[in-house]
Amino acid sequence: MRKLFAWVLFFVLILGSYQAIQYALDRPELSRMFSEVKETVDQSIDTFSDKKEEKAKDIVLKDTTGKQKGTFTNEYGEQWQMTHNGYEQFTLESSNGKGGYIAGKGRTLFNTTIGETTYGEVQKQYGAPLEEIRKGNKIFKMNDDNKKEMLLYEIDGYYVTFFFDVHNANRLRAIQYIPYNVEQKKEGFYGPSSNALRTGFEQLMIELMNQARVEHGLKPLIYDKGLTAQARAHSQDMIDQNYFSHTGSNGSTPESRMKNAGYLNEHFYAENLAYGQYSSIFAHEGLMNSLGHRKNILNKDLTHAGVGVAFDAENVPYYTINFYTPF
């Protein structure tokens, strides 16, 4: 009976009958039911209007039990807010709640499961991926089916990038989702360079590597900011001298550069380099699919790391990542 009255009042409200509404409000029981119906309708309208925007976010938050661990400036001029539980249930969420990134085996999003769903299964579910993003007169290539490292789709108003692990039977490793309008608002493929973005990229790279290490049963790396200056210098030297190599323009090596920075008698030295990817997320996922770089990230004998980023004239980031283990 209460449901019947509620629906009657609902349709009366839609038809705009002032007298019927006033009649309900003059009676306590009907007034209470009217309030409940109005609240339900208001919530339904809000939910409907935000349906696409909230769809991915709601799924992510159901899986997230960690507390906020840090914030990092990203290429969209916003902040990633990071949460995790000892690097499990790893989540980045945009400060405005629009867009994010998740990693961690067993997590589900967009009807896929990290660590289980394969490259082929995503293709079967969503069909042919987007191979490019067009911004004005510029076209940016996004997918390489030969490598099978990632797939890009437009789903429910998001650009969704599925990242795969080629060293784990091309199973899903992580997912990034960015609202269509947010991506299109960003000029070009790369975000505008700044000191804040450089620092954000550097710090986030450490966190992403630590997520991967913990997932493989290893201890997190200790972030050594004392390596930042010399790592940035090598990144800048590659830009200035137009090369990409572990050997510097002056003949330096990763070990010699680190020793010149004061790390004289360390037990191990190692270095990863990356450039061209438009964020630390894409750079990290690429490094995890490159066997030599992956071995450095997942080397149990390496305990400390520092990162240095520099941007070229086109805002392309260059990464120098140094690892060491002290005696």
70-92 per-position pLDDT tens digit: 999 999 999 999 999 999 999 99
Segment 90-104, tens digit of pLDDT: 999 998 778 999 999
The residue with tokens 């190599």 is 245
Q: What is the mean pLDDT of the chain?
A: 84
Segment 131-140, tens digit of pLDDT: 888 887 778 8
Query: Could you tell me whether strands 132-135 and 112-113 are parallel, antiparallel, or unpaired per DSSP bridges?
Result: unpaired
Average pLDDT over residues 204-226: 98
Q: Confidence class of residue 260 from pLDDT cuts 50, 70 and 90? A: very high
Q: What is the pLDDT of residue 11?
A: 38
φ, ψ of residue 303 to 5 degrees: the values are -120, -20
pTM of the model: 0.81
Average pLDDT over residues 109-120: 98
Q: What is the pLDDT of residue 76?
A: 94
pLDDT > 90 fraction of the chain, expressed in percent and rounded = 69
pLDDT over 70 at 64, yes or no: no
Q: What is the pLDDT of residue 247?
A: 98
pLDDT over 60 at 263, yes or no: yes
In 18-78 the beta strands, taken as DSSP E runs, fall at: 67-73
227: its two tokens: 């390596």
Q: What is the pLDDT of residue 97?
A: 75
State which H helix or E strand residue 144 sits in: none
pLDDT over 70 at 59, yes or no: no
Contacts with 197 (C-beta within 8 Å, 6 or more apart), sequence order: 73, 74, 75, 191, 311
Q: What is the pLDDT of residue 54?
A: 41
pLDDT over 90 at 69, yes or no: no
Average pLDDT over residues 41-53: 39
**Do 267 and 325 form a contact (C-beta atoms < 8 A)?**
yes
Average pLDDT over residues 65-72: 76
Average pLDDT over residues 257-280: 95
Q: What is the pLDDT of residue 147?
A: 85
Q: What is the pLDDT of residue 66?
A: 56
In angstroms, how far is CA 112 from the centroid of its own chain?
16
Q: What is the pLDDT of residue 95?
A: 81
**Do 107 and 119 form a contact (C-beta atoms < 8 A)?**
no
Segment 138-187, tens digit of pLDDT: 788 777 778 899 999 999 999 999 999 999 999 999 999 999 999 989 88
**Do 231 and 321 form a contact (C-beta atoms < 8 A)?**
yes
Q: How far apart, in whole angstroms, are the C-alpha atoms of residue 290 and residue 37?
A: 57
pLDDT over 80 at 55, yes or no: no
pLDDT > 70 fraction of the chain, expressed in percent and rounded = 80
